[in-house]
Amino acid sequence: MPPVEAFKPLGWISITVTWLAVSFLIYKFRGHKSMSISRHAAAHKQSFVMMGIIESIVLPLFFLFVLKWFTPTFHLPALFTICVAFAAVGLLIAAWVPDVGGKKGFIHELMAYGAALLFIPAAAVLCVSPNISTVARIVVAISLAYEITSWSLFVASQKARARYLYLQIGYSILFHGSVLIAAYVR
């Protein structure tokens, strides 16, 4: 399937809107550094609804960017698109199931952590792709190393969990940045 150029801007648009919303959320509804982005959103009904609506818009836009432009442009294997598709669905479910503990918290964490884990094979596919620039592959390799390290720290260290927000923000920004650099740096 040839890439459709009209979908190319959806990548940076969806990522920019996501991070503007997350920045606003963290600034407006201050929590602490051990709280995830989701816990910040779940702390108030207005922030929860705001993030649910925004994610309902940006996740499909990001997936369309991946499906219609990014994957065909760089001749990526289906594994990349599948990882992004399942991650997007998981994040969308997590956006509408608040991280409040109990059954809802379990479903939220299953979807959110499952989605985040899918960034690792997606980044690995990008890292070995001969069709993206060397600069992009270096950035993706750094992102992949961070993803693996942050998961290991989160699982093994209470100290790391105390700074969960920072780990999560770094994790997500590096993945998004990797995709954007791959898309725009040739």
Find how far residue 65's CA is from the centre of its chain: 14
- What pLDDT does 10 receive? 97
The predicted-structure confidence for 110-147, as pLDDT tens digits, reads as follows 999 999 999 999 999 999 999 999 999 999 999 999 99
Residues 118, 83 contacting (CB under 8 angstroms): yes
Q: For residue 28, what pLDDT is reported?
A: 85
How confident is the model over 21-79, as pLDDT tens digits?
A: 999 988 887 777 878 888 888 888 998 999 999 999 999 999 999 999 999 999 999 99
Q: What is the pLDDT of residue 33?
A: 81
Q: Are 149 and 16 in contact (CB under 8 A)?
A: no
Contact 172, 62 (CB under 8 A): no
Could you list the beta-strand ranges (E) of the chain: none
What average pLDDT does the segment 76-92 reach? 97
Q: What is the DSSP letter of 131?
A: T
Quickly state the pLDDT bin for 88 (edges 50, 70, 90). very high
Residue 3 above 80 pLDDT?
Answer: yes
pLDDT band at 158 (very low <50, low <70, confident <90, very high): confident
Name the region of 32 (left: φ>0; alpha: ψ -120 to 50; beta: rest).
beta
- pLDDT bracket for residue 7 (50, 70, 90): very high
Confidence of residue 174 (pLDDT cuts 50, 70, 90): very high
Residue pair 18/11 in contact by the 8 Å Cβ criterion: no
Cβ-contact 50, 103 below 8 angstroms: no
pLDDT at 32: 72
